[in-house]
Structure 1
Amino acid sequence: MCLGAARQIHAIRTILQNDSGRQSTVGESLGESETCLATTTSVAYPRPVWVAVIVLLIVQAGLLAYAATRHSPTLNEPGHLVAGMRHWQFGQFELYRVNPPLSHMVAALPLLATDVKTDWNDFNDAPGARPVFNIGEDFITANGERSIWLFTLARWAGIPFSLLGGYFCFRWGSELYGNAAGLLALVLWCFSPNILAHAELVTPDMAATSLGITVSYAFWRWLKSPTWWGAVVAGLLLGLAELTKFTWVILFGLWPLLWVFWKLTHRRSDDSRQRWLPQGLQLMMQLVLAVYVINLGYGFEGSFTKLGDFKFVSALLQGTDGKESDSMNRFADTQWKNVPVPFPKDYVLGMDVQKRDFEDFASPSYLRGTFQQRGWWYYYVYAAAIKIPLGTWALIVLALVNSILARRRDDGSRFADTFVLLAPAVVVFVLVSSQTGFSHHFRYVLPCFPFLFVWVSQVANVFGRWSWKSGLVTAAVLWSVASSLWTYPHNLSYFNELAGGPMGGPAHLINSNVDWGQDLLHLKSWLKAHPDAKPLHLAYYGYYDPADLGLEYTAIPRKRPVDDNKQSSSEQFALKPGWYAVSVNYVRGYPWRAPQGAYADFQNFTPIAKAGYSIYIYKIDGDNTHAVE
């Protein structure tokens, strides 16, 4: 894999060296890259460049397609899939309302042609209810081992989202900095461990990430050449992005600000003052069109419900600071109660439930071996330091140096391009970091990645000729790609060398950062190769019942919390000799269907094997006792 990636990058370098004269003037130092910023409204892509783009996207599609067959359903995937099935079968959107329906429906689409079994007995639509996980578990039980194939089909259906995101990383990078940069942005996208990890899953993270960069590119193109047609395209894409994840609701406020900023930085243009009004109307049309697409995506179900008729569960919208409220709506007795809300009912309630989760999440947060009930404001900064390849970090540092040097000769327009590029990523990162109700998932900032890749791609301008600078950039790219592929297909558990790799990562982060229940199939393969590993005792973090895969096991006795009224800490017993498989989240003490620390004593043992990087395997002999309460 690593050799193939090296050959691919070498081929790209050759293509770009031959094409650099036609595309742009390539800077001879990191500080001269601004000379090759695209100045035209369109970029001509030579045939070799298109070939490179297609090859890279095909390679990524292959990586994703294979990885999708190697992992058991993660914790959230069953819920997303059954939500999509319910959308198609009943036209209802309340089941997983904390996420808009687009990615759910795409994932469930191929299942409509199968005889998939569904079980809706646990459905409950009480305010704030989250029955989707029980229904997802029922779905797996109803379909048994065949559900693995159903999840594979659903995962494959989502691969085009990743290809879309990669393509627009290339487009934006090439139009800002030249073809070399566009291809570098695409390489970073195609081989990023975090992109590969989530692009294979039935979750909305990749759809939101891909459509985020796509719609932002369309908006940037509209800013550079404002036309009514461009406004229509941007508005439609904004609506689609809003149907992937609530993250992009920020664009309704950010776009007007970016437009004003753009106009002010380009106020010296001849017709700038004369075009404020028509451009303002185009911008307004984009936002209105996006709202229409959102309503269309929900089938206009509950659209324009009066504000006072909602029953909210978050303290913010109840206005009760978490206390009981009869009305469950802070607007019920105000002059705003009769105002119709121009969004679907479940869209509004979904944001409310999501806000409630951030306000008071039941499970504790974990960082560097420490649990606490709330999160950390610096959690995502820390996670980025150890979840992003060090080679990519080297490119980030080079891009930062390059930007500082280039800024000295910037006339303002190039700064505006960079500002519009990075603003969505910065706002998302700051907004997510500010939600400190809990800190569990680095994937929440995944939508920032493509913007980072495009910005970093400016360092590709040193590819024009061999020098120590181009050698440094090449080494960083190869390091980044090799580090990612070294962990493949277990990219969900990826940690860089600074954290000690996937085995050292759980000392820093857990949850979906390393263990999301994805390695049950690898455990089955390991047991097949080791038929003597019996009896098997298992503590698995996931909704999939291992028995549905034909695994024979018994549950591991777990540590019970000490009751102050009934002290039982002295009541000890030893684990029976045998084989033990324990999910990493449990090894680190995470409480899920078990008390906190129920299996944490396994940290005192060294695993003799592992399934993927999220299930550790231990052998307990007769002389090795393991005290638990």
Structure 2
Amino acid sequence: MASSSPANQPSPASASDPASAAASRLWGRWMLALIGLQLALLLHGAWTVGPTYDEHFYISSGYAYLRDGEFALNREHPPLLKYLAGAPLLLLPGIDWPSTWADQLNFPVAFFYDRNGAQLDRNLFAARVPFCLLTAALTWVVFTAARKRFGPRAGFAASALLALNPNVLANGRLAALDMGSAALIFIAVVAFADALDQPTARRTLWAAVAFGLAELTKFTALLLVPAFLGLAALAAIRGRSARPLLLLARVILGGLTVFAAGYGFESLSANEAWGKAAYRVSSKAEAPTREVIESALRAELAQVDGVGNVDSLLGPVLGAGDTSRAIVAWRELTRRTEPEGLAAAAARALTALDGGPGDLRREAFAAVLEAPDALVPVETKLELLPQLADRELRQPDGSRLTGTEAWSEWYGAARYDDWDEQLFTQGWVERLTRGLLGDAVPIPLFTALRGVDYQLHHGDYGHGSYYRRNLIVPSTTFKDGVNPFPEYYTVVMGVKNPIAFLVAIVAGLALAFVFGRRAAARPWTLLDAAAFLAFPALSFYLFSTGNALMGVRYVLPVFPFLALLAGRLEALVPRLGIGLALVAALESLWIHPHSLMYFNAIAGGPVKGPEITVVSDDWGQDVRELGRWYARNREVVEAAGGLHYDPYTKAELSNLGFGNVVRPTGEPVQGFVAVNAINYYRSHPLYRWLIDYEPFMRIGWSIYVYDTRGGPPGADPGLK
């Protein structure tokens, strides 16, 4: 991607220049110190901060993947980072792993908090260590990428802005997916950009591997495909060559191989997946309208000789009230002996319910199955029953059924199940998988496809969240699929980052379009700008217009890109970038290790910031510390009637040191009350009576503790 240096600009010092080499070594040593500091902060936070709401899912899932090669747990995300979370536990003694884990309800909670609760702190820290190392590795990659483009000073400034950012320190120490995904996505972009710059076999192979690993972190990484396509097309146009497009094809093909390997080249048939509850999702469908039913019946009855007055036959069906009651009358048509063919035609018309609500399909299925074979031939039944059941049955040897005995046996076992359960909710996924292969043929990368389908299904109605006194309710808030708060992530970036960091990245974005050498290590081109702007711009746009308003962690992948671009500021204005990085670090580190609750001064800090948004900031990380506070003050709290608290955690409270915990009812109480910030704002009506009280303690800034015994505003009881 390099271009020749403009003739009127001096060339930078070569690598053999003693002064340049000395500067490179100097900043290299500073980088080692910076990474040492960052790693120390990450590891300290990993040990100090309690488990967040989601970590046990990832740790338990990764352990299951490694032990049994079973991907059903947490199938909505790819497995790589869960491998990292689960792998350390394989090395630890005394892990209780039951052979029947797949049959247990809510197994991740039982495994992490109950069966292995005695070693909770040890297991949690061990699972987090790989993520601390991966975050530190990202810092080094940002340094090397910025150093190559802007020189070592700029590389240090860029990496310092990233390394000590509170969001990076907060999420980089967790056994979760967001920071690891950000790291591998950035590494993939750097590798692809370097391969376009110098397309050697080694660089192409590394770009393919990095791309595949990034895709194995979160499905957000699928945005790399259009980003890479645009970048390769730009390189092809500028170079007047198709070679960049051929390189892209190799990278994607190689990356797909790595991706498949990450899933153990899994291939699973729909019939196998139906036996695994973790793969199914309940998705209610609307009942067909009267017009649809009438049209289906008329079309089939028109093929039968001797029907006579069609309206007289339709009347009992269409006039029977709702669709469910209509099927009772419709069933009678499947038992009419005259005219000949009427029963079979009525049965075929029941496929109008295909794709409809499960309870209606169940009634229609029974009507077809129980119709006399003399009236509805077995061949017709075997055509209709799979449609109404939404699955295909085969003989044990794989051949098609010749009788209805197997269907009768299946219906006897499944008649009381939820027939609204589906394997795939998106029509195009269904058509490309079960539609092409049926239910008996193994579907390659079944769990990956199921994960993509889940994310698309879940994205249709969004997440429960909170923003500026607005409760965001799944589906209801996003009427017609429209996000009413497109500014959400812009505001989140503005309040969750140090002010100096914001100044640096705004300047870096502005300077991204200043081309040429300009004191950089090499010329900065349009292709450079595209490489490091395409993915963050695309992902930020899609999240801003989408329905997942889930806090800063969802946009963590843009952080290394912004930090690299901010490094240009140091290259063009020496000492300014490093100065801003130092100020940003001072703004950030004061709150350590409670960095998840960082809000800048503009937002009012961690006291006022949650009034704007608090989802993924209070992630349940301080529930364990509240349990320790409770244990220290048990006698006083118990004498006051126990602790009134609705915990934001999946853990069994007895494993976290709690005793008598009373769930709040929304009514004022006299005693000790604790409330997580996320519950206070997202479930505010329950805690409205606390508005006149002031918490005497904020544990980790995320849990407010009140003493309401003396009335508002409350007093500090002196408990520690």
Is this a same-fold pair by TM over 0.5?
yes
Deviation at 1:458, TM superposition (A): 0.5
Q: How far apart, CA to CA, are the structure 2 residues paired with 1:335 and 1:300?
A: 16
- 1:53-132 equivalences under 5 Å are 53-113=31-91, 114-118=93-97, 123=102
- 1:307-326 equivalences under 5 Å are 324=357
Q: How far apart, CA to CA, are the structure 2 residues paired with 1:292 and 1:346?
A: 16
- 1:438-457 equivalences under 5 Å are 438-457=548-567
Which of 480, 487, 500 is equivalent to 1:391? 500
Q: Aligned to 1:610, what secondary structure does the other structure show?
A: strand
Would the aligned equivalents of 1:291 and 1:343 in 2 still touch at CA under 8 Å?
no
Q: Could you tell which deviates more after superposition, 336-345 or 52-61?
A: 336-345
Cα pair distance change 1:406/1:294, threshold 3 Å: closer
**Equivalent in the alignment of 1:489:** 593
Which of 556, 559, 579 is equivalent to 2:672? 579
Cα pair distance change 1:484/1:335, threshold 3 Å: closer
Would the aligned equivalents of 1:395 and 1:476 in 2 still touch at CA under 8 Å?
yes
Q: Deviations over 1:443-477 (max 9, x none)?
A: 1111111001000110112564xxxxx4x545432
- 1:60-209 equivalences under 5 Å are 60-113=38-91, 114-118=93-97, 123=102, 135-209=108-182
Cα pair distance change 1:403/1:99, threshold 3 Å: closer
**Equivalent in the alignment of 2:707:** 619
Q: Aligned to 1:46, what secondary structure does the other structure show?
A: helix
Q: Deviations over 1:535-562 (max 9, x none)?
A: 3412221112332132223224322xxx
**Equivalent in the alignment of 1:11:** none
**Equivalent in the alignment of 2:696:** 608
Q: Equivalent pairs: percent with the same residue?
A: 26
Deviation at 1:530, TM superposition (A): 5.3
Deviation at 1:52, TM superposition (A): 1.4
Q: How far apart, CA to CA, are the structure 1 residues paired with 2:621 and 2:263?
A: 31
Deviation at 1:54, TM superposition (A): 1.4
**Equivalent in the alignment of 1:517:** 620
Cα pair distance change 1:204/1:316, threshold 3 Å: farther
Q: Deviations over 1:397-447 (max 9, x none)?
A: 3324544665899999612211111111111111222322x4123211111
Q: Aligned to 1:371, what secondary structure does the other structure show?
A: strand
**Equivalent in the alignment of 2:471:** 371
Q: Deviations over 1:197-256 (max 9, x none)?
A: 111111111111111111111111011111222111100111111111111112223212
**Equivalent in the alignment of 2:412:** none
Q: How far apart, CA to CA, are the structure 2 residues paired with 1:59 and 1:97?
A: 36
Please provide the CA RMSD for this pair.
3.7
Q: How far apart, CA to CA, are the structure 1 residues paired with 2:690 and 2:98?
A: 37
Would the aligned equivalents of 1:71 and 1:520 in 2 still touch at CA under 8 Å?
no
Which of 297, 300, 314 is equivalent to 2:265? 300
Task: Tell me which amino acid in the other structure corresponds to 2:183.
Answer: S
Q: How far apart, CA to CA, are the structure 1 residues paired with 2:12 and 2:181?
A: 28
**Equivalent in the alignment of 2:384:** none
Could you tell me which runs of 5 or more consecutive residues in structure 1 were left unpaired when the two chains were aligned.
Answer: 1-24, 26-31, 126-130, 465-469, 560-572, 591-595
Task: Tell me which amino acid in the other structure corresponds to 1:605.
Answer: Y
Would the aligned equivalents of 1:37 and 1:176 in 2 still touch at CA under 8 Å?
no
Task: Tell me which amino acid in the other structure corresponds to 2:36.
Answer: I
**Equivalent in the alignment of 1:352:** 453
Q: Could you tell which deviates more after superposition, 45-54 or 159-168?
A: 45-54
Which of 528, 532, 543 is equivalent to 1:432? 543
Residue-pair matches, total: 550
Would the aligned equivalents of 1:83 and 1:96 in 2 still touch at CA under 8 Å?
yes
**Equivalent in the alignment of 2:584:** 480
Deviation at 1:382, TM superposition (A): 1.3
**Equivalent in the alignment of 1:541:** 648
Q: How far apart, CA to CA, are the structure 1 residues paired with 2:88 and 2:51?
A: 17
Deviation at 1:38, TM superposition (A): 10
Cα pair distance change 1:451/1:157, threshold 3 Å: same
Task: Tell me which amino acid in the other structure corresponds to 1:115.
Answer: G
Deviation at 1:379, TM superposition (A): 1.4
Would the aligned equivalents of 1:295 and 1:301 in 2 still touch at CA under 8 Å?
yes
Task: Tell me which amino acid in the other structure corresponds to 2:571.
Answer: N
Would the aligned equivalents of 2:465 and 2:550 in 1 still touch at CA under 8 Å?
yes
Deviation at 1:99, TM superposition (A): 1.1
Which of 546, 550, 553 is equivalent to 2:660? 553
Q: Could you tell which deviates more after superposition, 607-616 or 256-265?
A: 256-265
Cα pair distance change 1:105/1:407, threshold 3 Å: same
Would the aligned equivalents of 1:165 and 1:210 in 2 still touch at CA under 8 Å?
yes
Q: How far apart, CA to CA, are the structure 1 residues paired with 2:614 and 2:686?
A: 16
Q: Aligned to 1:456, what secondary structure does the other structure show?
A: helix
Q: How far apart, CA to CA, are the structure 1 residues paired with 2:530 and 2:247?
A: 21
Cα pair distance change 1:395/1:39, threshold 3 Å: farther
Q: How far apart, CA to CA, are the structure 1 residues paired with 2:508 and 2:433?
A: 52
Cα pair distance change 1:442/1:552, threshold 3 Å: same
Task: Tell me which amino acid in the other structure corresponds to 2:117.
Answer: G
Cα pair distance change 1:450/1:184, threshold 3 Å: same
Deviation at 1:312, TM superposition (A): 8.0
Which of 204, 208, 216 is equivalent to 1:231? 204
Cα pair distance change 1:532/1:482, threshold 3 Å: farther
Would the aligned equivalents of 2:515 and 2:524 in 1 still touch at CA under 8 Å?
no
Deviation at 1:123, TM superposition (A): 4.3
Work out whether 1:263 is the aligned partner of 2:233.
Answer: no
Work out whether 1:461 is the aligned partner of 2:571.
Answer: yes
TM-score (norm 2): 0.69
TM-score (norm 1): 0.79
Deviation at 1:192, TM superposition (A): 0.7
